[in-house]
Structure 1
């Protein structure tokens, strides 16, 4: 089985790169993914991180939609407790009107940052209550549709509410997560589900089994629907692939060990620093075993096996290839190379 391919983008920012350059590189990558026949291109939501410029998925989705013609574009995902459900519904109803039939609304319930940022983002009051997450999902699904939603007041009377005045289509809603909770909620809601394997890697098989086993059919989705995410770095040689993977391995080591975060190192910086502090060593074996790192043939073979093992017909890769110091700041040569080589190997 050869799965279809999609892309998850965190809009990485490397040493010396501006946010403008990082976004230009990611938008060029989205256009390249469109040309290569990828299924969808999603932007993550993370806040106040030196190496991540993907803070506002709806803005990036709109920009990517205007630079592409075929590929689905969406969020991977909007962290709903940070936002009012009505605002999310309005944003994605507008995006659906801008790019009809091409918008995915991936929703998660994690904060996407540290406790300080979480408090700043959640000043909206009760709309940010994590316990209301299932209710907010239902609200958004109703609001983005053509029929809208109806509020019933305790004092009597009703109030009609629409995310956009005259919708002709809905964004497709996906639930995202890395826990049993998200899998069970997606199953109970009759929604498509994605496990965040690129970040966690733990509990994937159990979550998919829960989702498929407990799935309650819905009108829009009579059967369970899921795909899996994974990190990937593909290059002409295994040596180059590992070189380009090292900056991200070291970044993951910083995240997991609580060290201060920095802009993504260049390949040269990562190699030099690793020879001194050996920061990435504890995570190297994990990356080699759970990421797709290597030549096109090796990565494609591993990806096919991965898809077959988890019974999915789509894999969303996060192309985490780092850059060499002399590569242009407004491009992502290593990430583009990963998409190009992998797409060709799976053709």
Structure 2
């Protein structure tokens, strides 16, 4: 596992007492820190209308991070394609690639990233990508990002060339994200690199990777299947401290899955004093068993074993550490500390650039 790399997936969490500006400032600080430590990628998820998540618009946030980082790859984890016109997505990421050449990933997903009301609002201004057209729209984006563009045949028979940017010198790397048989098979069919969302539930990972690898169709641009995995991670100096830091996010997820109205994330102190229903506590216990939570040496060892088990050379961590009452409003020191500890407890050669 000497070539294992670590990356970061961020939802830009918002805790009680924070404004969106504070949460974004904390994410910028975390991305800068990951860049300095040698992490491979920093991806931003797309979620809408959630009081605890400020990652509503990955391309805009990635533009901010491109100007604040030097070498780390930046990407979407992912852009939820049913919410957007493919041409707009291609243009956005072509601009990002021009601004940060060789550092941009375009991760595409099929889920809406919110509820049906928000999905309707996202589509109210005009046509967007329908779920059934997802495979074709992925092909469209890939063609539009190419330096030669895509050729359309008009009703008159005339050929009309469309490009995402006038003169591309490079292109973002397109990844397909998913948590189902459908996404694994589609990534294989389209010869795309694939990321299975292991951090969602921790179930079905082996089957999805086997499906993707066994059905992969080699292409000129992607000769072999390529994948990595995601994992929820919280590390600290002791197991007890790590568990306390994980509680705000764990309890929040339990409330989400039991239909409880959501708020911004609790602090560590608020989570320690919270009362959960038995079903919520059961969910917390189950998730805690699947997350990588504990002292850094133990978590680092478990992550290396996790990567070896599924034969991947990269793990993307969602850092679920909460904030204490007295922490700076525009930073989350425990998230930064998790990245520090992972870098310190894994061999430096394991934190390599792509």
TM bracket, shorter-chain basis? over 0.9
Kindly indicate whether residue 288 of structure 2 is the aligned counterpart of residue 296 of structure 1.
Answer: no
Structure 2 residue aligned with 1:339: 339
Contact 2:9 2:44 in 1 (8 A): yes
2: distance between equivalents of 1:286 and 1:6? 25
Gaps in structure 1 of 5+ consecutive residues:
none
2: distance between equivalents of 1:65 and 1:159? 33
The Cα shift of 1:279 comes to: 6.5
The Cα shift of 1:108 comes to: 0.1
Contact 2:145 2:164 in 1 (8 A): yes
When normalised by structure 2's length, the TM-score is 0.95
What CA deviation, in whole Å up to 9, does each residue of 1:262-319 have, x standing for no partner?
A: 1000011111113x65674212332232111001110001101100111100000000
Helix, strand or coil: the match of 1:224? coil
Structure 2 residue aligned with 1:87: 88
When normalised by structure 1's length, the TM-score is 0.97
Structure 2 residue aligned with 1:185: 186
1: distance between equivalents of 2:265 and 2:304? 29
Structure 1 residue aligned with 2:204: 203
Contact 1:41 1:72 in 2 (8 A): yes
1: distance between equivalents of 2:327 and 2:141? 42
1: distance between equivalents of 2:254 and 2:182? 26
Contact 2:74 2:105 in 1 (8 A): yes
Structure 2 residue aligned with 1:70: 71
Q: State how 1:167-316 maps to structure 2 within 5 Å.
A: 167-274=168-275, 277=277, 280-316=280-316
Contact 2:129 2:137 in 1 (8 A): no
CA RMSD between the two structures: 1.2
Q: Tell me which moved more, 149-158 or 191-200.
A: 149-158
Contact 2:105 2:173 in 1 (8 A): yes
Contact 2:250 2:288 in 1 (8 A): no
2: distance between equivalents of 1:280 and 1:65? 39
2: distance between equivalents of 1:280 and 1:223? 42
The Cα shift of 1:127 comes to: 3.0
Contact 1:232 1:291 in 2 (8 A): yes
Larger RCO, structure (CA 8 Å, separation 6 or more): 2
Structure 2 residue aligned with 1:153: 154
2: distance between equivalents of 1:200 and 1:148? 39
Kindly indicate whether residue 120 of structure 2 is the aligned counterpart of residue 119 of structure 1.
Answer: yes
Q: How many residues align?
A: 346
Helix, strand or coil: the match of 2:97? helix
Contact 1:250 1:279 in 2 (8 A): no
Contact 1:8 1:317 in 2 (8 A): yes
What CA deviation, in whole Å up to 9, does each residue of 1:106-157 have, x standing for no partner?
A: 0001000011001111225543311100010000001011111000124411
With over 3 angstroms needed to count, the CA separation of the structure-2 counterparts of 1:244 and 1:283, relative to structure 1, is same
2: distance between equivalents of 1:279 and 1:47? 26
1: distance between equivalents of 2:51 and 2:327? 20
Contact 2:102 2:170 in 1 (8 A): yes
Gaps in structure 2 of 5+ consecutive residues:
348-354
The Cα shift of 1:201 comes to: 2.0
Kindly indicate whether residue 319 of structure 2 is the aligned counterpart of residue 319 of structure 1.
Answer: yes
2: distance between equivalents of 1:210 and 1:203? 11
Contact 1:178 1:200 in 2 (8 A): no
What CA deviation, in whole Å up to 9, does each residue of 1:61-81 have, x standing for no partner?
A: 111111110000010000000
2: distance between equivalents of 1:234 and 1:328? 19
Contact 1:46 1:112 in 2 (8 A): yes
